[in-house]
Amino acid sequence: MTKIIKNDNIARLLEQLAEDAEVWAPRELAGTGTAIFERWQNGVAVDLEHITSISAKDVVLPRTEKLFDFNYAFGDPVPGENIEIVAAVTAPATVLFGARACDAKALTVLDALFDNPESESYNDPNYQARRRALTVITLACTTADAACFCSSFGEGPAGKAGSDLILYPLEGGYLAEAVTARGESILDAATRFFEESNAEPPQLAETATVEGLDGLQQQLPAIFKDLDFWNEITATCISCGFCSHGCPTCYCFNIHDEMSGDRKGERLRSWDACMFYVYTQEASGHNPRPTQAHRYRNRINHKFSYYPVNQGETLCTGCGRCIRGCPTNLDIREVLRAAKARAVETELMADGGKAETDK
């Protein structure tokens, strides 16, 4: 026996969840067909049809956040100049409603960097606190557009990684499946909105697949110095940075201080993008990644080589936002296929054909 929730009860469920937590949900921007995640307000309809243009990573990595306040003082508690630092961790209970499987999976990918077992590696206290306070209710995808390619990463449009509760679209409502104890507690606390049912999960969407991604981390080093290749595939890139800001797993950030007078201030962390020229510009003026080719090479290597090697996860979940939102139609799937083919060609040239017979 499973449970379903009718469409009419979705708003009532959100209203109950909002009594104890901040609720984030997708909303369509008036008649545009473009959806965004934002703090849900009673009376505002959620958009469970469109995939949001920007991911839901705001709930764990805000676009701008205060890390701490600081204040310089003389002679207290010891002679000379002292600095007082007050951490600014804020993590209210939060429910992310209507995330897609690719969004939920992205949280587990970010966990590998920001939220590790104590004493084993670096942990980000702000991220960690928000993650502990977060409940994720995922919407399984029964439709997909041409940019979706989550099936390339195994679990597909109803993957459970990162989800506490999954809703499967049905005629007139949604079938609910608890994934974690936290998801089970939602079903228990909102029994008036869920009904017992014998309904079966619907047919899920089929998304595009990029074959052979597992081998990329070993193959990408073969074309690292091949700037002709990277120049060719990034010829149309204008370094606008949308691919980074829309991505659920990109986490480039900048840190700066905002002073309040000359003795105190606050340190802030804001989203940045490795596709921006100034991201790696050094104080001397030198920039180790001066062209789009250098920056995009780093983007691909970071996602499919460096991060898998260092964190054990691929820094991409196939959400397709970088494809939908790119103003010059640069398709990361075509880049990955071209990179793989170029690497194989390079390996063949390096060993006089031996690589082909070994494969």
* Residues of the chain scoring pLDDT < 70: 1, 76-78, 352-359
* pLDDT tens per residue across span 238-253: 999 999 999 999 999 9
**Are the C-beta atoms of residues 46 and 25 closer than 8 Å to each other?**
yes
Q: What is the pLDDT of residue 2?
A: 85
Helix (H) or strand (E) holding 148: none
Please tell me whether the peptide bond between 77 and the residue prior to it is cis, using omega within 30 degrees of 0.
yes
The pLDDT assigned to 358 comes to 42
Give, in order, the Cα–Cα distances in Å from 73 to each of 83, 87, 124, 313.
6, 17, 27, 44
In whole angstroms, give the CA distance from residue 201 to residue 139.
Answer: 12
Residue 77: per-residue pLDDT? 64
Report the alpha-carbon distance of residue 248 to residue 278 in Å, rounded: 22
Sign for the CA dihedral angle at 225, 231, 234, 237 comes to positive
Query: What is the reported pLDDT for 291?
Result: 96
| Beta strand 94-99 pairing with 2-6 | unpaired
User: What's residue 1's pLDDT?
Assistant: 66
- Pairwise CA distance, residues 230 & 233, whole Å: 5
* Unique residue bearing structure tokens 């369509």: 28
Of the candidates 138, 80, 79, which has an alpha carbon nearest to the alpha carbon of residue 107? 138
3-state secondary structure of 40: coil
pLDDT at 352: 66
What confidence tens digit (pLDDT) does each residue in 29-71 have? 988 889 999 999 999 999 999 999 999 999 999 999 999 999 9
Which 8-state DSSP code applies to residue 63?
S
What is the pTM assigned to this prediction? Answer: 0.92
What integer pLDDT is reported at residue 76 of this predicted model? 63
**Does residue 234 contact residue 330 with C-beta atoms inside 8 Å?**
yes
